[in-house]
Amino acid sequence: MELQKKEAKSYEIDMCSGPIFSKLVTFAVPLILSGILQLLFNAADIIVVGRFAGSESLAAVGSTTSLINLLVNIFIGLSVGANVLVAQFYGAQRLKDLEETVHTAMVVAVAGGVVLIVAGVCLADPLLEMMGTPEDVLPLAALYMKIFFVGMPVTLVYNFGSAILRAVGDTKRPLYFLLLAGIINVILNLIFVIVFSMGVAGVALATVISQCVSAGLIVQCLLRSDAPYRLRLTHLKLVPEKMFLIAKIGLPAGLQGAIFSISNVLIQSSVNSFGSVAMAGNTASANIEGFVYTSMNAIYQTALSFTSQNFGARKFDRMTKILLYCLGMVVFVGLVMGNGSVLIGRQLLGIYSSDPAVITYGMTRMRIINGTYFLCGIMDTMVGGLRGIGYSVIPMLVSLTGACAFRVVWIFTIFAMDRTLQTLYLSYPVSWAITFTAHILCYLVIRRKMAKRFKNENS
């Protein structure tokens, strides 16, 4: 028992005292590696299907991404709510509240996964048709989606379990679990697609099996832990108060992600109008772009967890330093990785497809989006700072107005007047710049009000 306590503590990070920057880096690096590994394994899906099943299969897998995100993002947002709540209770050492939050979160994960199975299987065909998916791609895309969504319960269990561990500073064990599951995914990809010629069905099935492995490992980790966030199967129940608090923070985050996905679905539909070759180039470029995004998103997760714990401990001076450090980190990561990927873009795209037309279309997207991606990183890190102090509705409204609504208007005005992929992709950097500026102003106003409120409470 004592050994288990020491093991749990060895993976945790004391976010509320000591040096800040070194701990931010220690927390963020495993998260960045986890995100990159996840995308490497996803890239293996796309590379295998593109090389051994044809461009239609490649387009099919890629065309489902924004639609999958649309359906899944509500529940991923709820995992953000669980992360913030666990971190705040852990920082405040409110252990009973912490235990109830952990068990409520895992119930939500399983129930949400079941809901998504039904939604994904029933809505795959009609939603893909609404997106204008070409007829040569539609059956394959629908098949991929249906198999993928069967694995949703285990996917959400892994996401919620990882969120709980991140909240206490443990980003290493989720990395180890993901590494093992990812290796299994790659091996199964090769077997199902090359040996058994299963195409997109093989890729989807390999993904589901690997997700079962990662979810099983995360659950075992929580079950065996002797820390306050230990998972006990006999304690699994939905505590209404904790469900409300998770939803209060997580639901706006999830709605933001889902509505963002609507704008991305519209953009994907616009890309679809240029044909399957343009879709394949867009898919390959977006996959490379994902490596930059997930690295910056790790900084967002870092800001979220560190801010949440210090808010729970009422250490406001540390919160300001945390946000400033995280903004500097995300700009550095975004500039280096974004522009670096553009410099070797053709070589990277060549891994996904040998078709020169696909590579040309891919470079069109990469030059515009990857080169300015640090703006998106600033936007997301500001959102992490706001959600960490319990404000989730305001960043949702700002993001939906400044990014989502703006992109929709752009598609029906600017893009309608100049129907080129360059014009379509320009909607991204312009919307990021508008939105992060608004987030900074909101944060300054909220922190000023918060400082006054707590000064009055303590006087």
- Each residue's pLDDT tens digit in the chain (459 positions)? 444 445 555 677 888 888 999 999 999 999 899 888 877 777 777 777 776 666 667 666 766 776 777 778 778 888 988 998 999 899 888 889 999 999 999 999 999 999 999 988 898 888 888 877 777 778 888 888 899 899 999 999 999 999 999 988 888 999 899 899 989 988 998 899 888 888 888 888 998 999 999 999 999 999 998 888 999 989 989 999 999 999 988 888 887 777 776 777 778 788 888 888 888 888 888 888 888 998 999 999 899 989 988 988 888 889 989 999 999 999 999 999 999 999 999 999 988 788 889 899 999 999 999 989 999 999 999 999 998 888 888 888 888 888 788 888 898 899 989 999 899 999 999 999 999 999 999 988 888 887 777 666 665
> What single letter denotes the amino acid at residue 70?
L
Rounded Cα gap, residues 318 and 127, in angstroms: 46
Rounded Cα gap, residues 114 and 108, in angstroms: 10
Rounded Cα gap, residues 386 and 319, in angstroms: 11
Rounded Cα gap, residues 86 and 165, in angstroms: 9
- Total-model pTM: 0.79
CB 71 within 8 A of CB 206: no
Rounded Cα gap, residues 227 and 432, in angstroms: 40
Nearest to 128 by CA among 113, 107, 148: 148
Nearest to 60 by CA among 166, 167, 177, 148: 148
Domain positions in the chain are 17-458
> Residue 324's CB: how many other CB atoms inside 10 A?
12
> What single letter denotes the amino acid at residue 98?
L
Cβ partners under 8 Å of residue 56, min gap 6? 136, 137, 140, 276
89-104 burial, b at 16+ Cβ within 10 Å, e below that, comes to bbbbeeeebbbbbbbb
CA distances from 164 to 88, 103, 161, 171, 332 (A): 11, 10, 5, 10, 28
Q: Which residue has the tokens 């040569």?
A: 136
Query: Treating both helix axes as pointing N-terminal to C-terminal, what angle do 65-92 and 138-150 enclose, rounded to 10 degrees?
Result: 20
Q: How many residues does the chain have?
A: 459
Sign of CA dihedral 386, 389, 391, 396: positive
CA distances from 362 to 59, 189, 281, 282, 353 (A): 13, 24, 4, 5, 10
Phi, psi of 456 (to 5 degrees): -65, -40
Q: Which residue has the tokens 């800001």?
A: 303
CA distances from 54 to 47, 51, 125, 184 (A): 10, 6, 21, 23
